[in-house]
Amino acid sequence: MDELNGRMIACQLLITGLIARVANQSAEPLVFLSEFRDEIRAVASQIRIAGQSDPTRTRQVARETIDELFSLMKPPSDA
């Protein structure tokens, strides 16, 4: 399980670095980050989760993870 967690953290760091690089090349980095974060949150809110009795908790964890990824670049939104 520790190896899986380590790989997930590595993936999160790679994704965060990629997003930051694209944002830095954008004319307005904060606008890009805000719009991108909102799009990712919308996807997490609408994705179909099969095989679980309570997908609400999974969606909540997904939103928290998204906010965590973006918190290094921009404070999380209140929504």
Kindly indicate the confidence band of residue 4, based on its pLDDT and cuts at 50, 70 and 90. Answer: low
- The answer on pLDDT for 76 being more than 60 is no
In a domain, 78, yes or no: no
Structural domain range at position 46? 2-71
In a domain, 79, yes or no: no
> How many structural domains is the chain composed of?
1
In a domain, 24, yes or no: yes
Mean pLDDT of 2-25: 78
Mean pLDDT of 1-18: 75
In a domain, 76, yes or no: no
Q: Which helix (H) or strand (E) holds 48?
A: none
In a domain, 31, yes or no: yes
Closest CA to 76 of 33, 39, 43, 46: 33
In a domain, 77, yes or no: no
